[in-house]
Amino acid sequence: MITSTTGPQPADFADVRATNLAVVLRFVREHAPCSRADIAASTGLNKATVSSLVADLIDRRLVRETGLTENRVGRPATMLVLDGSPYAAIGVEINVDYVSAVATDLAGERLLTWRRSFGGGESVNQGVAGVGAIIRRVVNRMAREERQVLGLAVAVPGLVDVQGTVRIAPNLGWRDADIGGDLTKALRDPGFPIQVDNDANLAALAEQRFGAHAGASDLVYLTGEIGVGAGIILDGRLRRGRLGYSGEIGHVQLDPDGPECHCGRRGCLEVMAGIGAVLGKDPSPAEIQMEIEESVRLARAGDPATLATLESVGRSLGKGVSILANLLNPEVVILGGYYVPLAPWLLPAVQEEMDDRVIAAGSGGQVVASTLGHDAAALGGAARVLDSIDSGRLPRVP
């Protein structure tokens, strides 16, 4: 497992101890099992400081000792690994027809994965009440396991500004909603921070930390749900843009004479390469999974009409991905959501368009299907909480 931020380095400013605690914790996460001497040699911190910092992390139950190793020059060394057994990070995704919840420990191991139906189109108040009830169940489960919740991050399919306000989530019918504040009230000030972000952003974090291309410094995640959005990681960091609205690739126009999009324009990527284009209609949320499974069945059976549709959608998707490739030059573009089961038929057409349209030959990177499934955005919520720990927001001594 690899973290998704460049991480702190030893510093000389006021909160130097908190910063250096994060430096040591990050080193243990990435290099465990490791010794105190390994940490000192790699970070530039002196041995006495490292010993003090490690003792603090052990007191917080973030790190533990795991015995001696003799496979090195000199005296045997006591090795360190992550602990984090008293803690949990929670991620939640709100989508049109479901809510996913994931809880992980400090090392990113899943403690819980839930998926519950959700009434798309509910008012913000109704939605918050329903999501809050699910979150309470997750928090209560963690409490029964004697785990302290480090934080919660919520993924929403829409424009989320840098303050976490959902400016517009068209498929949910929500506008200018303070979901974080509303959830804090619904949970009666739970004692841990609640963050809100766009679903593609958090899914990109999940891919960068947990996915098949974990550690990639430059990647793009494309959602394949009702809408199409992009989560963008460049130079190892999530890029949100000035207001937080980056990644709205779904409304890039591919054909001015194309079909009308929900946004009022014509020929947008979303209407030409979204799930509605695959199915030939805008299915209700309850129908999507069944319709996708039927498309997969027909494609496997060699149905000519289905194969032609998937090739056409793949070519439109390839045009959109080529724009991203020329603009951002990512190492990998990852297709998520409902694109995953359709990937065997979409990817050849996507790659062919990429080969034709990317200006610098071979610079478009790979285009692959996600291995994280529909839980990617929720898992990314947990990853965002873990990122905050890596950045120095450490829990107090239990």
- Averaged over 286-294, what is the pLDDT? 88
Note the pLDDT tens digit of each residue in 364-386.
679 999 999 888 999 999 999 99
Q: What is the pLDDT of residues 23-53, one digit of tens each?
A: 999 999 989 999 999 999 999 999 999 999 9
The mean pLDDT of the chain is 89
**Average pLDDT, integer, range 195-214:** 95
Indicate the residue type of 139.
V
- Residue from 157, 131, 125, 210 nearest 386 by CA: 210
Alpha-carbon distance of 13 to 28, in angstroms, equals 23
Torsion of CA 175, 202, 219, 239, to 10 degrees: 60
pTM of the full structure: 0.89
What is the structure's pLDDT at 361?
Answer: 64
Q: Cα–Cα distance between 252 and 126 in angstroms, integer? A: 32
Distances (CA, A) of 71 to 36, 78, 114: 15, 12, 43
170 pLDDT tier (thresholds 50, 70, 90): confident
Mean per-residue pLDDT, 130-156:
95
For the segment 218-246, the average pLDDT, to the nearest whole number, is 91
C-alpha 133/C-alpha 139 separation (Å) is 10
74 against 1, higher pLDDT? 74
**1-31 pLDDT tens trace:** 444 444 545 544 447 888 899 999 999 998 9
Beta-bridged to residue 34, according to DSSP, are: 80
| Residues in contact with 192: Cβ distance below 8 Å, sequence separation at least 6, in sequence order | 149, 150, 151, 152
Nearest to 203 by CA among 233, 172, 243: 233
335 near 231, Cβ under 8 Å? no
Q: Contact 184/152 with Cβ under 8 angstroms? A: no
Count the helices and strands in the chain (H runs, E runs). 12, 16
Report d(CA 95, CA 177) in Å as an integer. 15
Nearest to residue 224, comparing CAs of 132, 356, 125, 316? 316
